[in-house]
Amino acid sequence: MAGYGEGGLEKHVVELANGLMRHKNGIQVSVIADPMYGARFAQGVTFMPFAFSSSRRNPIALFRLWRTIRRTRPDIVHAHGNKAASMVGRLLPLLKVRSAATLHSRKKNVRMFHAFERVIAVSQVSTVNLAHPAVRIVYNGVALPGGHATASDEAWHHAPLGKRVIAVGRLVPVKGFDVLIEAWRTIDAFLLILGEGFERPRLEQLIVSNGLSDRVRLAGHQCDVLPYMRSADLMVISSRYEGCPYVLIEALQHDLPVVSTRVGVMPELLPAQALCDVEDPRSLAGTIKSALKDPGAFRAQFHAVFSHARTHLTLDSMVENTLSVYQELI
């Protein structure tokens, strides 16, 4: 079960469903989600389109959702995100089925998750406001990288010589790219921001007004960010809040050091020297400059982190740990 939107939650649902399908343990996977995601599921996954854009209290939408779930005859219903959890939670007394829900980031309102027998959280910090007796931590995971590639986009070719830094995400306020651009005024390196969103005009204006056109570039959405990771010296996450972002895991699996604001899963995974304060350009700039001043020493702090990512932050680990939660219910 997944709500409407585009980001880590949706990627998680796709990767989990496809991973469960490949597990070869007799699991039948049905996904109820917005029609736009149908083509992303592997063969064998039963996809049932549903418009989650309606109000979570809309009785017609709730009836349609109940009817759709009943049609799958599930052993377990697994809801992802607040909206899906809210809608499914209202239906559980009628469905009479075992249940789980995943909390993908720290939320103030988590009352809807108390309707479920198990709650999966993608980080410890996500559970701060949740007083549930059966919470399980399951970190996001991605398939281990293979092969080698170098970035071929013009954005790198026209970059000045020197350190290369990337940031990846939608151009929306929560990602804090405005703070990152402000921090870049004192940083002597080239920053490439990969992503698209409604804040592009404002961010472009900030780049120009701060005189950073030769050091900061918005490269737009890239279908494959891995070549950029492989040729960058550092990645920066400047978010105002996060859960367990996939871009972090992908960077760590490619041995790319990360500087991040102190949000979401970051304090659980990254060295203390890689963390900075939220919405603080000076703190962010200082941490980035320290990382770039002695890249070898900074990278050395990540050796154990890189190893942990390749061992525990994998798609196989995410699927196995989720299956363990399902087995508690059956």
pLDDT for position 97: 95
CA 152 to chain centroid, in Å, comes to 25
On the question of pLDDT at 4 being above 60, the answer is no
What is the tens place of the pLDDT at every residue in 200-220? 999 999 999 999 999 999 999
> 154-312 maps to which CATH number?
3.40.50.2000
The pTM of the full predicted model, rounded to 2 decimals, is: 0.87
What is the tens place of the pLDDT at every residue in 171-195? 999 999 999 999 999 999 999 999 9
pLDDT for position 146: 66
CATH 3.40.50.2000 residue ranges of the chain are: 8-143+314-329, 154-312
**Where would I find the beta strands (DSSP E) of the chain?**
30-33, 46-49, 76-80, 98-103, 118-121, 135-137, 164-168, 190-194, 216-220, 234-237, 258-261, 275-276
Other C-beta atoms lying within 10 Å of the C-beta of residue 295: 13
What is the tens place of the pLDDT at every residue in 90-100? 999 999 999 99
On the question of pLDDT at 3 being above 50, the answer is no
On the question of pLDDT at 262 being above 60, the answer is yes
pLDDT for position 5: 46
pLDDT for position 49: 92
Provide the mean pLDDT of the chain.
90
62-66, 157-161, 277-281: segment of lowest average pLDDT: 157-161
In the structure, what pLDDT confidence band is assigned to residue 224 with cuts at 50, 70 and 90? confident
On the question of pLDDT at 23 being above 80, the answer is no
CA distance 297 to 282: 22
Options 3.90.226.10, 3.10.450.50, 3.30.70.1290, 3.40.50.2000; CATH for 8-143+314-329 is: 3.40.50.2000
pLDDT for position 117: 97
% of the chain beyond a pLDDT of 70: 93
In the structure, what pLDDT confidence band is assigned to residue 108 with cuts at 50, 70 and 90? confident
On the question of pLDDT at 63 being above 70, the answer is yes
On the question of pLDDT at 105 being above 90, the answer is no
Strand, helix or coil for residue 80: strand
Q: Which of 300, 45, 231, 16 is nearest to 142 (CA)?
A: 16
pLDDT for position 148: 56
On the question of pLDDT at 2 being above 70, the answer is no
pLDDT for position 150: 57
pLDDT for position 246: 92
What is the tens place of the pLDDT at every residue in 116-162? 999 999 998 888 888 899 999 999 999 877 655 555 455 566 666 68
Residues sharing a CB contact under 8 Å with residue 228, sequence separation 6 or more, in sequence order: 151, 153, 156, 166, 168, 192, 194, 222
| C-alpha count within 13 angstroms, C-beta hemisphere, residue 251 | 26
On the question of pLDDT at 7 being above 90, the answer is no
